[in-house]
Chain A
Amino acid sequence: MLTVDQLRIKMGDFSLLGDFTITPGARVAVLGPSGAGKSTLLAAIAGFQPLDAGAILWDAQPMPKDPAARPISMVFQDNNLFPHLTVAQNVGLGLRPNLRLSDEDHTSVAQALTRVGLEGMGDRKPAQLSGGQIARVALARVLLRDRPVLLLDEPFGALGPALKAEMLALVRDLLNETGATLLMVSHDPEDARVLCDQVVLVADGVAHAPVATEEMFANPPEVMREYLGG
């Protein structure tokens, strides 16, 4: 269980408050106007953003300081792959950060690649891949990391609609297999409807507690209405 406990972040004019809990296995979309602090919230949970007050708890315990030690996998907007490493190495980092991979590890890497539909592409460099394939490699690494929480910071923002739908479907399948908890930042409310059962609205300096997706769209609060427009 992931708890955002009395969180406060202040950076110049910008500030963000939050105090809520995410139930295990929940699929949460983080929505809100740009600049409201969606990515900051994810960075705080992942351990990249120092907090001015409050804490991020996992099963009622404070999380470790080191991002790598947290029960979290994260996929960023971009720079998810090291361009100088092969696809297989990039995925292998999920198992061994020092890349000393055993035969067994190599097998796991190959299986993970097969699972995301990139069978036999392990020797390629990221520059030889399409945008969708790059996202798949990042997801293959998430599979191997095998952490109970997955944070997606708009990783599919640059993909076309068909490709994005494909990726969201893949994420759903992976979540079904692993039972991981998802927090996904998106600027497209449609993504929330497709994949997520809850929505965290970030607006006016506050990350609100999660609300069921249907209720959010059926009965949007004022800021959400403005954001959705019309």
Chain B
Amino acid sequence: MARRRVQISTTTILGVLALGVVVCLTLGTLIAVAMRAEGAGRLGPADWAAIRFTLWQAAASATLSILLAIPVARALARRSFPGRSVLITLLGAPFILPVIVAILGLIAVFGRTGLISQALGLFGIEPISVYGYHGVILAHVFFNLPLATRLILQGWLAIPSERFRLAASLGMGPSDIARTLERPMLREVVPGAFLVIFLICLTSFAVALALGGGPKATTVELAIYEAFRFDFDLARASLLALVQFALGAALALIALRVAMPSDMGAGLDRAVTRWDDRPALLVQDIAAITLATLFLLLPLGMVILDGLPRLLHLPQVVFGAALRSVIVALVSAALTLALSLPIAALAVRHNSRVVEALGYLTIAASPLVIGTGLFIITFPFVKPSDLALPITAIVNAALSLPFTLRALVPALAAVERDYGPLADGLGMTGLTRLRHLWLPRLRRPMGFALGLAAALSMGDLGVIALFADGDNATLPLQLFRLMAAYRMEDAAAAALLLLSLSLLLFWIFDKGGRVNADR
């Protein structure tokens, strides 16, 4: 009896500690920045324009991502073909892509001298332009279509196969099935998926900068950056960050009422068997899969093509930076797990969505404000450059939390539902439960979470600017240095290196979670 009390309180203590770290990193840093500011901030008309644009582009990006994802998910759900699972994995690649690499790839395809414009040129048609509102949305769809597809595909696969058999035995055609089975499923899945993508697009920064085409496409995060960097107006920067938080929190409140998509790490290996096939459907599905594949993989292909020539001739320091980035990514992945597992345990133990929601705080946090806040807090005590890599690791870990929690919480809840009573009855508590029940049962979602965190961490350089010293550049920073030194071809090769390492890290962890996993 006493042991069980101890067990509950350990879970609670660790969970509360992890939540504390998250709250300190997000709200704490914001408070630190606001306190350092002199006077109250005021939002100008440009800031309001930025807020409007942010909301508009996030809504447009999320809507478009979902609309396009539905036919792709439907096609993937009802077709099984050789290489299907490889394709699903590959289609997930853009989501974990470093933003800078993705933009290079998108420009190579959709830019003025990109593949499409060149193809149009053969027919004497004017080149298309990717810069402007539509560029921002295109990039966001590129990043989030895979996520939307994945979430919706899960919805499809969650429809019990018996229902499709029942539908077949009742002689239902495709439109009947859509009405009775698919649309109700979509009504449940789509709102949650929309919210997730909306939140992701809310804090967009680099995308809007590179493809926005001008000051009209200013997001809140970009406005924070300039308030901080050029005006050194900490008051306005923290006020804008607060606005961003408020937007995120308002959405999170809605999200708590909407069924959020669950189990991002679930397997998608099987296809639904259906009996309502028609040639027209086959054509439609082939078209959806082909177009999505081209849209998502062509830019990656261009990054590879552009980077290959110089890859083996890259200067030594680039590989040093790559190694540093990989280490940071690994530490960051480990920290993500160290944060998300206690939070997930706390959320499952107390069946608390509030706990889970707090874990999502970082999705609306501004990396720049986190970095500045941490600098203000730590500078009196520690030499900032000593903290450059640890802080990069921990902030990246915190930024990955919303996604890793999404994978871990439902999985842990399922483990506790299925095996909790048995483990309780046998007295498996504390570390024993962690070692012999949670870790082995959670291998798949943990592998997915670790891979995601590592990959997301590889490409990020959001917070390092204040802490960096000259000698410890990460790979993305090194990529920028190559560009700053006019070495654009080397930079393309470094981008390829960054792309390969990000995907490789994700693949290794994700695979590691699947190999020999007993179902």
Contact = CB atoms under 8 A, between A and B. Distances in A.
A and B touch in the complex (CB under 8 A): yes
Interface of A: 43, 46-48, 64-69, 72-74, 76, 79-80, 82-85, 89, 93-94, 97-99, 125-127, 145
Nearest to B516: A84
A66 B3 contact: yes
B290 interface: no
A208 to B, nearest CB: 25
Given A48-B424, A85-B436, 7 more contacts: A65-B4, A67-B427, A68-B424, A72-B425, A82-B419, A89-B436, A98-B431
Contact of B428 (A46, A47, A97): A97
Contacts of A69: 1, 427
Interface in B391-423: 418-419, 421-422
B428 to A, nearest CB: 5
Contacts of B425: 46, 48, 67-68, 72-74
A84 B519 CA distance: 8
Contacts of B427: 66-69, 97
Contacts of B421: 43, 46, 48, 67, 74, 76
A93 B428 CA distance: 8
A76 B441 contact: no
Contacts of A98: 428, 431-432, 436
A104 to B, nearest CB: 19
B309 interface: no
Interface string B189-207: 0000000000000000000
A80 B421 CA distance: 10
A125 B419 contact: no
Residue from B4, B437, B517 with most neighbouring chain A CB atoms (10 Å): B4
A79 B415 CA distance: 10
Contacts of B3: 66
A76 B121 CA distance: 69
B12 interface: no
B436 A99 contact: yes
Residue from B422, B425, B431, B437 with most neighbouring chain A CB atoms (10 Å): B425
A99 B419 contact: no
Contact of B422 (A72, A80, A125): A80
B480 to A, nearest CB: 45
B390 interface: no
A43 B422 CA distance: 11
Given A79-B418, A82-B419, A82-B437, A68 B426 contact: yes
A99 B425 CA distance: 15
B432 A99 contact: yes
A97 B1 contact: no
Contacts of A83: 518-519
B426 A84 contact: no
A48 B431 CA distance: 21
Contacts of B429: 68, 97
B440 interface: yes
Contacts of A43: 421
B418 A125 contact: no
* Those 6 A-B pairs whose CB atoms lie nearest each other, nearest first: A68-B427, A84-B440, A98-B432, A83-B518, A66-B4, A97-B427
Given A65-B4, A66-B427, A93-B426, A79 B432 contact: no
A80 B419 CA distance: 8
A67 B432 contact: no
Nearest to A73: B425
A78 to B, nearest CB: 8
Nearest to B517: A84
B441 A84 contact: yes
B426 A97 contact: yes
B415 to A, nearest CB: 10
A128 B357 CA distance: 40
A93 B425 CA distance: 10
5 contacts: A46-B425, A64-B1, A67-B425, A97-B426, A127-B519
Contacts of B517: 84
A93 to B, nearest CB: 5
Nearest to A48: B421
Nearest to A65: B1
Contacts of B440: 82, 84-85
Interface string B430-465: 011000110011000000000000000000000000
Residue from B1, B419, B422, B424 with most neighbouring chain A CB atoms (10 Å): B422
B444 to A, nearest CB: 11
A127 B1 contact: no
Given A84-B440, A99-B436, A94 B518 contact: no
